[in-house]
Amino acid sequence: MGADDNADMGDGTGTVADSVAGNWVDRHAPAATRPYLRLSRADRPIGTWLLYIPCLWGVALAANAGGGFGAKDLWLVISSGIGAFLMRGAGCTWNDITDRDIDARVARTRSRPLPSGQVSARQAALWMVAQALVSALILLSYDRLAIGLGLLSLLPVAVYPFAKRFTWWPQVFLGIAFNWGALLMWAAQSGELAPGAVLLYAAGISWTLYYDTIYAHQDKEDDALIGVKSTARLFGAQSGRWLAGFLVGAVILFAAAVIVTIPAARGPVPMLVALAGVWAFGAHMVWQMRGLNLDDPAACLRAFRANRDAGLAVVPFLAGAALL
């Protein structure tokens, strides 16, 4: 459990073990809504950020490929944020439905709403559908390519909870799902998918392998006991080297996305500004790894959550490059 955990672990309040201390759900949400908001991880906003950030990357870098920002881009930024919250909530609810028996056997997750009995599987399923339907309304405001990509994203979301049962690389499936917004928002912004979009998507997947391997180290002992697979267990004592490799891969792929996207005719300054953002992104991850103890769950949780700032660090540089 993390240093800022405020789990009740049985005192009846329903607080989840790895929620943020003093979060708004536990403090201010009506009691009847709390189990559903906890299913959606509203008490743990880091996942929404990690789903939303690739959307921001997609909008900003696609704007660099075309004529800069237009009026619709404000809607894309706002709507993708709302969509990230809703689809993360729907995905987490689906994950908890499929994992409720496993979660009951892991110390960090047994306090979640389903294994702790706060909601039934039927209630959770209805909540998942409700979130997905509202997300669909947002998706329908985009063009056909983006709508198609949005519908296609449901496949990796559906498969991900089962990945840890059949592969040592479930983090790859998470990366495929969590970075889909880079492709979706690129298509929504430009009406097409360019090579830069694919490179940006690959950079996001490498980034996810980095941060979610750190996250998985929190549960490696319980996972070993119940037979759940993860890259944390696969890499073991070599995890530090793998993390460094994922970090370097994310930076190289992101830099390549910038280089192939920003036209040379615009001059060197926009590209250099965007690459400075990529450098900030990589430097933040290097800072995270300094002194990281993968055997300390609290340190792992702190490093995992720090990736919100790493991902956001590049956004103003991409936006600034598009405005130049």
Q: Residue 205 sits in a domain of what CATH number? A: 1.10.357.140
Tens digits of per-residue pLDDT, 76-90? 999 999 999 999 999
Quick one: pLDDT band at residue 36, thresholds 50, 70, 90? very high
Q: What is the overall mean pLDDT for the chain?
A: 90
Q: Is the pLDDT of residue 6 over 90?
A: no
Residue the block writes with tokens 């690389």: 169
Owning domain of residue 147: 24-323
Q: 14 vs 180, which has greater pLDDT?
A: 180
Count up the domains in the chain and report the number.
1
The answer to whether residue 220 is domain-embedded is yes
The answer to whether residue 55 is domain-embedded is yes
Q: 293 vs 67, which has greater pLDDT?
A: 293
The answer to whether residue 40 is domain-embedded is yes
Quick one: pLDDT band at residue 266, thresholds 50, 70, 90? confident
Quick one: pLDDT band at residue 11, thresholds 50, 70, 90? very low
At residue 18, the pLDDT reads 66
Quick one: pLDDT band at residue 26, thresholds 50, 70, 90? confident
Per cent of the chain over pLDDT 70 is 95
Nearest to 36 by CA among 107, 90, 83: 90
At residue 13, the pLDDT reads 59
CB burial of residue 241 (10 Å; 0-12, 13-18, 19+): exposed
The answer to whether residue 214 is domain-embedded is yes
The answer to whether residue 3 is domain-embedded is no
Per cent of the chain over pLDDT 90 is 73
The answer to whether residue 143 is domain-embedded is yes
Phi, psi for 44 (deg, rounded to 5): -135, 80
At residue 10, the pLDDT reads 34
Best-predicted range by mean pLDDT among 95-99, 150-154, 161-165?
A: 150-154
Q: Is the pLDDT of residue 107 over 90?
A: no
At residue 1, the pLDDT reads 28
CB burial of residue 238 (10 Å; 0-12, 13-18, 19+): exposed
Q: 13 vs 163, which has greater pLDDT?
A: 163
Q: How many residues does the chain have?
A: 324
The answer to whether residue 6 is domain-embedded is no
